[in-house]
Structure 1
Amino acid sequence: MKLVKTSVKRPVGVIMIVLAIIALGTISLRNLNVDLFPEIDLPIAVVATSYQDAAPEEVENLISRPIESSVSSVEGIETVQSQSQAGSSLVMMMFNNGTDLDQALLNVRESIDQVKGMLPDGAGDPSVLRFNPDQMPLMWVGLTGDEASKLTQVADDQIVPFFERQSGVASVTVEGAKNREIQIVLDQAKLQQYGVTSQTITQALNNSNQSASVGVVEKGNQDLQLRVTGGFDSVEDIEDTLVQTQSGGTVHIDELAEVNDTHAESSGDTLVNGEQAVVLSIMKKTDANTVEVANNINDSMKEMEGDLPSGLNTEVIIDTSEYINMSIKSVVQNILIGGIISFLILLLFLKSIRATIVIGLSIPIAIISTFTLMYFTGETLNVLTLGGLALGLGMMVDSSIVILEHIYSYRQRGYSLKDSAIKGASELTPAVIASTTTTLVVFLPMVFVDGIASDMFTPLAMTVSFALIASLIAAVTLVPMLSSKLLAKATEDSGKRYWFNRFLNRVNNVYRAVLKWVLGHRKTTVFGTILIIAGSLASIPMIGASFMPSSDQGQLQVTVETQPGSSLEHTQNVAEDVNEKLTAYDDVMETNYMNVGGGGGGAPGTGGASNQATYMMQLIPASERTQSTDDVVQSMSEELESVPGAEISVMATDSAAGMGDPVQISLTGPEHEVLRELSNEVVSTISEVDGVHNAASSADDGAPQMHIQVDSEKAAMYGLSDQQITSQIQLQFTGQTAAQYREDGNEMDITLMYPEDERSTINDLENVTIQSESGAAVPLTTLVTLEEVEGPVTLQRENQQPQLNVTSEIIGRDLGSVTNDIREKMDNMAMPEEYSYEIGGQAEDMASSFTDLSIALVFSIFLVYAVMAVQFENFLFPLIIMFSLPATVVGVLLGLLVTGLPLSIPAFIGVIMLAGIVVNNSIVLVDYINILRRDEYGRDRYEAILEAGTSRLRPILMTTLTTILAMVPLGLALGEGAEMQQPLAITIIFGLAISSLFTLLLIPVVYTLFDDLTAKITRRRKKA
């Protein structure tokens, strides 16, 4: 081929091109974004609407339903879900994969505009937002110290602006803040004594806290601005504010109330490693490099700590980049180990440093070229793309090995270096192009795969493809060129027999004898193969299935939930009991973030209630502990079961956490109340299934509430409105912001409130007196009726039907087996008429992905056959080669069974890759048999098969061993984050190993059978 001849005749040009590739690849590597996984595209939008003081039923009927109905007709929508709760509605729209979300959002806004006028008065304007589940903080930083208000002030004034100035930071949120507040604690007896109301005090504060420009006067040649200054300069000014009494006199505020310079009452408590703290959650910009942003923040913290007041310290609670760095480092380490193994295998076979270098150069050149292509296609450097390089490491040298072996054979026949390089490379270039193309085309059907499977593994497929294309070009250009310059001494025989050659000769002799036997017992060989394949298929039930492998990131979340309506103090007491239990895990715990009352639901800062406490814990790296995160979860769950007064769940946060719950059972039917009862029954039923962990219903328990119904007619008799009564009750129990106080550039609320012992119990509520316009004190109980009820719950709907979800984690078993057992339990449940269930979550995604990947596998096999048919210009020889595929099943199932891994998405991707890999050895073997039968010596079929088999055994062993052994580090899951590639590596290692054995023995037998069949058909045609 011209390309081969050009590369041999113009070595300087090839070298310059290689140097240019290395330079460009190095620059590309420095600019590649680094992340843990490729970005997952989940096309989801939400419509959020408020409707103050409305019950969930009203929100559902008046807000959620009209919005659901309007957006359901938007093109591309797959599912519409809504959550209606007291005062707010959230409608979530999930679009089909591939939908243009920008256009879809425009369509949704148009639909909302059409229905906006139909919403009730008092409803807020609906907000249409893009929802990205991956937008989680990249880092949580704790600021610890003694004074809560000082922590908040330092965080707001110093740390937040400092962090937001760092490159790549989008926003910083302060959690657990204690805001400074001037509290005016009213003395009710004094108010009645002086005839002063809270409105009078509020008016007095605002009148005294005003500054205004009142004109201009001349002074000589200057104009002087006239400004009346009346703002508060100190807390004493607030105390000295004069209030007009009913009798016309005046009184100072400190005579009516106690003025305290303190901080606002908190709805929660935040601790970091047991110390009072505020927590800063840091979000990165969408296109920013996670690792680079985290490094910027960590470096800047060292600079910032010197400027912090004494007694205050910063500590990184969770840094997601640490796991990314460890994962990337372990994958790079696996690549290096695999590269060294491949180099040693080549050296073992070739017995020549020069020959090994000739082939080994394909690896770095292919990898560096891949970085360039990744940069220009917008891929990130993550564990999957780097894993693709590690998986393709052994395959990168396959083409070079085949080319070099053939060049070597011509050199031994006496050809010159240049002629050997040109003739040997040119002769086998079509074969290596065909074998590489068969590996590449298996990835083409991935375009038919949707969802997470496609988002996660398309970058891996592209990376492997880039590497193989680069290695192929190196094989047909660089290898012949280097062979013509460096192989002079490599082909010389020193006279001593190389021990490994002697070993290979013995292997060759054994193989030749076995090959003769199988050729003499063709039926036995074929039926024996069928029996082995059938036997392996019987092991499928023992393997199981899962969606994605869990990676041990060492992050835990503990959720504590006391009875609805529990006070913050009660929840704190329960949290203290939990803390005592958790001290047993101090040896494996690195950091511990606790939020009582203000957190919960998945991550710090997601909001909560007084009956919830959330712990986020970072364990020490997996390499430094003997227990896995799942082991710690199980142990912790058992330990915390003994804590009374709360429901406690423990879960691990891993790579699959952003992909939904492992099991999600959606219950649908006409009545919410029936669904609530049914969901509790489902939770109880599936909890009996082995492997189910933390089964829970999405139905909220109602919180106890006291409804206050104002009697408007009685209120009117006293000259009071409903709003006046509501305002005075609110002042009594939650306080009321009266004015603002500014000090040193900071602004804080001046809040009116009553002493805590007058606003804590039911008796305090019943003893409230309402002041009328005339100053008369009217008992609240004469104006209102009090009724204790169960508070509102969240009402859920899916596709315009009431719905509830039951979710579950899984531990100790594979997802497929657990799902099958759950489905069996659910089928045996007596479901009421018109009520049904569907199993979703990761279980649904797994089933959908497996279906798509099965279709992709069928297409891949067809494409492999089509490529070989074009290469051989024959339909028969590709069919013979395809018989190496069924035997792959034996290796795949054996590998998963031996290692105890379930069939997962990565393992399925490995099966698809095998469809293109395992045929390569068969292509080389069948192609060489045909060459020998057509050459000048005209060997008969039997001799051609024996010679082709024994002569091709060496390159087949080399390519197979380099591919397999280079993947062993990934197969052993060495290092952090390697769990994701392990199933893929195991599939290829065992599948390729077993199929190679069948290739060497079965393919020659199938070749003879088809050759005989062709001869019979040809003879019949001649007779006809």
Structure 2
Amino acid sequence: MSLANVSIKRPIFITSVIIAILAAGIAGFKAMSVDLYPDVSIPVVSVQTVYPGAGPEEIENLISRPIEDNVSTISGIKRLTSRNLEGVSMVIVEFQSTVEAKDAEQQVRDKINLTKPNLPDDIEEPVIKKFDPADSPIMMLALSAKDIGDAKLYDIADRYVKPRLEQVNNVGAIEIVGGRKREVHVILDRQKLKAREISVGQVAAQIGASGENIPSGKVNKGDQELIFRGLGEFRSVPEVADTLVNLYGNEVPTRVADLGTVVDTLEDEKTRSFFEGDKVIVLQVFRQAGSNTLSVTDDIKKQLVKIEPELSQLEGTPQLQVVIDSSRVIRNNVADVYETIIIGIILTVITVFFFLGSMRSTLITALSLPVSLIGAFALMKFAGFSINVVSLLALTLAVGLLIDDAIVVIENIYRRMELGENSLEGAEKGTSEIQMAVFAITLVVIAVFVPVAMMTGIVGQFLKQFGLTVAISMAISLFVALTIIPMLAAYFGGDGHGAHGKQHKPHGLYEKTIGRMLRGFDRFQTWLENVYENMLEWSLRHTRLTIAGTFVVFALSIYTVAHVPSEFIPDDDSGEVAVTLELAPGASLDRTAQAVDEVNTIIKKNSDVEFSLVTIGGVYGEANKADILVKLKPTRKITSLMYRDQLRQELAGFVEEYNPIVKKYDTSGGMQAQPITLNLLSPNPEALAKAADQVFERLKNDPRVKDPNTNYRTGKPEMQVRLKPGAAKEYGINTSTMGVELRAQVEGLTTAKFREMGREYDVRVRLKDDQRDLQKDFKNIYVPNINRKLVRLSDIANGEVVAGPASIERQDRSRYVQLTASVAPGVGLSEVVNDLVKSMTTGDTKLPVDVRYSFAGDAENMQELAGSAVLAIIFGTLCVYLILASLYESFITPITILVALPLALSGAFLGLFITGKTINLFAILGLFMLIGVAGKNGILLVDFTKQLMDQGIDRTTALIRAGRTRLRPILMTSFALIAGTLPIAIGLNPASRTRTSMGVAIVAGVLLSTILTLIVVPALFVYVDRFRVWANNYGARFTSHEKSGAAPTASQHQEEKEIETVQPAIVNSNASEPTEA
């Protein structure tokens, strides 16, 4: 018993099943998380190690290399990079997507513990976090207060706000930019130290030893334990000044106050932040890799509600202001897709209503939409999907598909009812007659996305959620079409379509308006059927010309592919723009602040700018770098892209001095990397630098490229001190002792803590500011030897000022240089990348053998998308072919149906070319959708043609009758899909305009494939069916002759005669069609 029979005979059972599907879908919808895109986060673990005063080369050799050597033995690593700055090592371990983030973090932590003994003793404890520092923060908060000073404001940020925000689930890190914390400075005088034969390092060691709390043990006293501790921590500034350093001369005590002064002050300023010109502290909120952005930001906001009343009670009435909130963009995009789904449903139902001509049949058909859409959420939740733009777009596009099955079933049911059958009989026979075609259509769409579900990587995650969401909803719609649609048609369907039922004289407003429109549309359909029948008869008489014309259209579309630009994800109009400045290495914080003021003045002149947020120095204290975040007004007159181009022109005069880079700001918490990100790697620093310069010059001279930049910088002044040959043996000194003392004199050592009101502050020991210049005072500097005697530095070492690297970047345990750039509007990313690859492999910038390259960011994703899409299309087409071959028990018949696939792709490429859209991730999703739906029209035609031929009707008559009968459901399903996709193609608001290429590809592909399929599939069917008959007869004759040596029978003579008739007909397709026996 078929599903249709069960549903008609047991309506309560089917109704209960549908209610259960709806309930499960609603529960799944409420339980699903919401995000902008599918979770494509790769597990990333970062290791940050601070070594104050060390240069980039020291950081590389002493910290990053040992960590890399140990961490690289972990399995599942995709990419291992490190950034070596002044005083900071940042090692970033990126794992394959199949690795669990928690396991990755633990493995890295274990390796760091093994590495610690090989690291310098005076480094700070390595900080291991499960987030990528290359990500942009998902939220930025500005903390300000009235007249309380930098130290108190920093204390509030560091000791009150930051810990409270770190308590929020899935927060990866909270970084503070700007402000300065309190610090006690012991400022020593070189002359006083020399007079007493004491070094800075010795003073720091004594302060550290005197400021410690030492546990002394415990004893048992009867029924209790008594613990002993020696307390020495500093609780006041005078205690630090009164610390005993040593006994000088005749046991005269030397105290810290005898060697210098102790000052309660602030740490050296390394970063600054400004919001609307006012100095603030910025707290950047990073999410953990793989966590949900929307849930994290929501939890942060809840925490802020709890914090704000408490802040208002503190001195200066501190205020926290949310400057950047990535959830706003996510909510806007998700809301836009919801709106698109609703509009698509309305347009689809209106389209179906005009074709069916009956409100009752339209409502029955439309019922499949909510059941399929809502029911899909249950399985999506089970599959671990989130509600995001990609999964919702899949449902949006599925609107036109979901109603297809119901349309085909209801239309066939009413066709039989109009022929005189009652509603029960019409529902049962009409569904049974069409169920094979409906099953084939649905199975073909689902089969296309099977290869997609097996794809890996970032692109695979996008395509997986899209494809499986469509497949899930299609499976539910098939069940609905074969159960509840015939059941409702049987009991509530009436007598058929309104336009084909009894004719009534117009009466009432409905009949005079909508009724008249429906009758007019029905007359139009009848006229269209007559026109199509004439065209079909002509095409069957001129099959060769029909197929040749179709081939010309296909060839034209292939030509346009090369002229359609490509990119990974289209630029969105988020209203946020990022500007980065990078001055020459060695520029001071004050000089960078001056440059920021000049640039920010130009930015604020634009009336479309709402505010700007400035951070100088960043989280790593790079004084020559600054970031400016520009927020445009919601009522702006220009798009973000237009503003970026305008701002580039306005800042053109600062290119040489400030190197301004204007780019989009990714508020979704993703990378801010430029579309073109090229990494050059080599173990040879000289060859690497030369190759990087050549490729960078090529990028700068390419007019298609905007904002070329490189992370390779030379020229930062660095004084290098080297021991003279033999000095170690003669003076009893080594490089380690000398280096520690020099760092103590210049950077200072923090060997003790000062505690006040439960808070700890560093005690830093160093020389007076005017004595910290090693270059100026080189001959007056003394360092201790192994006997703690002071030795003049100039006697044992040479000093030289050289241009050292500002930073050293490493990838996969080799140094690398990263080149970045964006592309000009209208230029394809793949076009520029392909030309660049050609230039580096065989062109004028050919790389030497010891320099290799790799792409990252959008360029890498685009390459992955292109390769994966081609493979998925090939395997998807193969799946469709095999399914059709299985359904029709023929390897030849599916060829007729598959001809619609290149026709659909032709329409998509032509549509993108004409409208000026790009081939991007969303357009590729549209192409996959086209592959799934393109063959449905051919299936309807071929399936009904074969049914008629099985009844003894000749091929030509069967084709013409099938074409006329199936014209209405074909047009209805095609225009229903177009109506559901039209809101995407139009782009109703800024949030949806990034996805218009998907809508354009589908609308153009469906239009062209529908028109050409109605003409070319019948023409091609003639050839394919003739070949099928010839192959079957030839095989039968060969088999019969092999089995016996008897003479051919009369029936075999008839088959041979038919073959002789068919063979010349294949050559001359314009000849009259032979009559088959």
Correspondence 1:185 to 2:187 = yes
Moved more, 53-62 or 516-525: 53-62
- Distance of 1:762 and 1:14 partners within structure 2: 89
Task: State which drifts further: 442-451 or 386-395.
Answer: 442-451
- Cα pair distance change 1:637/1:107, threshold 3 Å: same
Aligned to 1:877, which of 893, 913, 920? Answer: 893
What do the CA deviations read for 1:638-688 (whole angstroms, capped 9, x no partner)?
222323632222222347964965334454667321321232122112322
Deviation at 1:763, TM superposition (A): 2.6
Report if the CA contact (8 A) 2:86-2:806 is conserved.
yes
Q: Is the 8 A contact 2:201 2:744 kept in 1?
A: no
In the TM superposition, what whole-angstrom CA distance separates every residue of 1:352-380 from its partner, at most 9, and x where no partner exists? 22222111111111111111001111111
1:861 equivalent in alignment to 2:874: no
Deviation digits for residues 512-540 of structure 1 (CA, Å, limit 9, x no counterpart): 22222222322221221122222222222
**Is 2:613 the counterpart of 1:593?**
yes
| Aligned residue number for residue 640 of structure 2 | 629
> Is 2:769 aligned against 1:756?
yes
The letter of the residue matching 1:787 is: E
Which residue of the partner structure matches residue 347 of structure 1? 353
How far apart are the structure 2 equivalents of 1:797 and 1:237?
46
CA distance in 2, matches of 1:761, 1:55: 15
Per-residue deviation at 1:346? 1.6
The aligned runs of 1:492-641 (5 Å cut-off) are 492-496=501-505, 498-585=519-606, 587-590=608-611, 592-597=612-617, 599=618, 605=619, 607-620=620-633, 624-641=635-652
2:486 maps to a residue whose letter is P
Say which SS state the counterpart of residue 563 (structure 1) adopts.
coil
Secondary structure of the corresponding residue to residue 657 of structure 2 = coil
Which residue does 2:1060 correspond to in 1?
none
Picking from 971, 979, 986, the partner of 1:965 is 979
Any idea what the Cα deviations from partners look like across 1:538-592, whole Å, max 9, x if unmatched?
Answer: 22222133333333334433222222222222222222222222223463344x3
Local SS of the residue matching 2:917 = coil
Aligned match for 2:277, one of 265, 268, 274:
274
Retained in 2: the 8 A contact 1:704–1:789? yes
Partner of 2:1061: none
Q: Quick check: 1:670–1:834 contact (8 Å CA) kept in 2?
A: no
CA distance in 2, matches of 1:62, 1:358: 73
Partner of 2:511: none
Q: CA deviation at 1:962?
A: 0.9
Deviations 1:790-846 (A, max 9, x none): 224666677777754433222321112223443455443164764566563344543
TM-score normalised to structure 2 length: 0.83
The one-letter amino acid paired with 1:463 is T
Do the aligned residues in 2 keep the contact of 1:140 with 1:279 (CA within 8 Å)? yes
Corresponding residue of 2:1042: none
Residues 279, 399 of structure 1: alpha-carbon distance in 2 compared, 3 angstrom cutoff: same
Aligned to 2:705: 692
Match of 1:602 in 2: none
- Equivalent residues of 2:748, 2:764 under 8 A apart: yes
Q: Report the CA distance shift for 1:161/1:72 in structure 2 as closer, same or farther (over 3 A).
A: closer
| Contact 2:142/2:283, CA 8 A, preserved across alignment | yes
Query: What is the CA distance between 1:472 and its match in structure 2?
Result: 0.8
Aligned mates of 2:753, 2:915 — CA distance in 1: 67
Q: AA paired with 1:394?
A: G
Partners of 1:63 and 1:188 in 2: CA distance: 32
Matches within 5 A, 1:428-467: 428-447=434-453, 449-467=455-473
**Paired residues of 2:186 and 2:261 also in contact (CA < 8 A):** yes
561 and 149 in structure 1: CA distance in 2 versus 1, 3 angstrom threshold = same
Q: Is the 8 A contact 2:59 2:84 kept in 1?
A: yes
Change (3 A) 1:631 1:265: same
- Gaps of at least 5 residues in structure 1 are 600-604
Instruction: Give the aligned residue type for 1:995.
Output: S
Equivalent residue in structure 2 for 1:955, among 951, 954, 969: 969
Q: Distance in 2 between matches of 1:232 and 1:115?
A: 33
CA distance in 2, matches of 1:266, 1:970: 51
Q: Tell me the residue number matched to 1:744.
A: 757
Q: Kindly report the root-mean-square deviation, in angstroms, between the aligned alpha carbons of the 2 structures.
A: 4.4
Q: How many residues align?
A: 1011
Does structure 2 conserve the Cα–Cα contact (< 8 Å) formed by 1:239 and 1:254? yes
CA distance in structure 2 between the aligned counterparts of 1:896 and 1:340, rounded to whole angstroms: 26
Quick check: 2:44–2:289 contact (8 Å CA) kept in 1?
A: no
| Structure 2 match to 1:931 | 947
Query: What displacement does 1:59 show?
Result: 8.4
Label 1:773 to 1:829 Cα distance change in 2 as closer, same or farther (>3 A).
closer
CA separation of 1:723 and 1:954: change in aligned 2, threshold 3 A: closer
Identity %: 29
Distance in structure 2 (CA, Å) of the matches to 1:633 and 1:423 = 63
In the other structure, the counterpart of 2:914 is 898
Indicate whether 1:316 and 2:331 are aligned.
no
Specify the SS of the correspondent of 1:174. Answer: strand
Residue 897 of structure 1: CA displacement?
0.5
Distance 1:100-1:763 versus aligned 2 partners, 3 A rule: closer
The change in CA–CA distance for 1:691 and 1:608 in structure 2 (over 3 A counts) is farther
Residue in structure 1 matching 2:427, options 421, 428, 440: 421
One of 245, 248, 262 as aligned partner of 2:265: 262
Structure 2 residue aligned with 1:473, among 445, 466, 479? Answer: 479
- Structure 2: distance between partners of 1:636 and 1:316: 25
Q: Would the aligned equivalents of 2:270 and 2:621 in 1 still touch at CA under 8 Å? A: no
Q: What per-residue deviation string (whole Å, max 9, x for no partner) do you get for residues 60-107 of structure 1?
A: 899988998999898777777777788998887777776789999999
Instruction: For 1:171 and 1:94, locate their aligned partners in 2 and report how far apart those are by CA, in whole Å.
Output: 17
Partner residue, 1:1006: 1020
Partner of 2:1049: none
Q: Deviations over 1:969-1008 (max 9, x none)?
A: 1122334553554333322211111000011111122223
- Residues 689 and 818, structure 1, Cα contact 8 Å, conserved in 2: no
Partner of 1:345, secondary structure, is helix
Going from structure 1 to structure 2, the CA distance change for 1:139 and 1:638 (only over 3 Å counts) comes to: same
Deviates more, 1:672-681 or 1:373-382: 672-681
Shift of 1:52: 10
| Structure-2 separation of matches of 1:537 and 1:212 | 80
Question: Residues 255 and 674 from structure 1, CA distance in 2 versus in 1: closer, same or farther, beyond 3 angstroms?
Answer: closer
Q: Partner amino acid for 1:385?
A: S
Matched, 1:840 2:855: yes
Partner-residue secondary structure (3-state), 1:808: strand
Deviation at 1:469, TM superposition (A): 0.7
C-alpha displacement of 1:463? 0.5
Decide whether the 8 Å contact of 2:609 with 2:630 is kept in 1. no
Query: Which of 679, 694, 712 is equivalent to 1:681?
Result: 694
Cα 1:329–1:264 change in 2 (3 A) is same
Inter-CA distance 987–720: structure 2 relative to 1 (3 Å threshold): closer
Partner SS for 2:152: helix
Deviates more, 1:859-868 or 1:802-811: 802-811
Contact 1:669 1:834 in 2 (8 A): no
Query: Which amino acid in the other structure matches residue 609 of structure 1?
Result: E
Cα distance in 1 for partners of 2:615, 2:838 equals 39
Q: Does 1:397 align with 2:403?
A: yes
Q: 1:61 to 1:315 in 2, by over 3 A?
A: closer
Change (3 A) 1:953 1:261: same
* Aligned partners of 1:384 and 1:981 also within 8 Å: no
Aligned partners of 1:170 and 1:321: how far apart in 2? 17
- 1:887–1:998 contact (8 Å) kept in structure 2: yes
Seen in structure 2, the aligned counterparts of structure 1 residues 133 and 508 have a Cα distance that, compared at 3 Å, is farther
Q: Structure 2 vs 1, CA of residues 54 and 831 (structure 1 numbering), >3 Å: closer, same or farther?
A: farther
Q: Normalising to structure 1: TM-score of the pair?
A: 0.87
Aligned partner of residue 284 in structure 2, secondary structure: strand
Q: Which moved more, 1:82-91 or 1:557-566?
A: 82-91
CA 1:640/1:214 → structure 2, altered by over 3 Å: closer, same or farther? Answer: same
Q: Is the 8 A contact 1:327 1:976 kept in 2?
A: no
Q: Alpha-carbon deviations, 1:13-38, whole Å to 9, x = none?
A: 22222222222211111110111111
* 1:789-868 alignment, distance < 5 Å: 789-792=802-805, 804-812=817-825, 813-823=827-837, 825-826=839-840, 827-829=842-844, 831=846, 834=849, 838=853, 840-841=855-856, 842-868=858-884
Query: SS state of the match for residue 363, structure 1?
Result: helix
